[in-house]
Structure 1
């Protein structure tokens, strides 16, 4: 059994209107030190795989087929035995 954490974020070249709205709201609340905000997705999964390498390969496939829109999003993941 493996545990995975997947992070999906917009590519740097893609505008993030939701992040801009959060930054603006933070500024209106007095948090002027915030210079940029980007919004993303966070997922936790448990996988049954024969090896760490197999789990990583399957996660890569999941990210590229469903979890991330690779045209506008980047992804990364961490896998640990659990």
Structure 2
């Protein structure tokens, strides 16, 4: 069993309206040192695979086909083998 921790965010060239709204709210609360905020999505996916390489290949396909819009978003992930339960 493997656990994939996936982070999906907008590409740097795409406007992040929620990130802008959060930054503006931080400034209104006097957190003036904040210069940028990027918000995103976080997923944890547990999967059964024969190897870490197989798990990573499946996570790549899941991200490309379902979790991220490759035109607007980028993703990164970490795959860890879970201890036998």
| TM-score normalised by length of structure 1 | 0.98
Q: 5+ unaligned residues in a row in structure 2: which ranges?
A: none
Q: TM-score, normalised by structure 2?
A: 0.95
SS at match of 1:33: coil
**4+ long deviations beyond 6 Å:** none
Q: In the aligned structure 2, how far is the partner of 1:40 from the partner of 1:9?
A: 5
Could you list the runs of 5+ residues in structure 1 that have no partner in the other structure? none
CA shift for structure 1 position 80: 0.5
- What is the match of residue 35 of structure 1? 35
Deviations 1:33-81 (A, max 9, x none): 1000011001111110000000000000000000000000001110010
Counterpart of 1:21 in structure 2 is 21
Aligned partner of 2:10 in structure 1 is 10
Pairwise CA RMSD of aligned residues?
Answer: 0.4
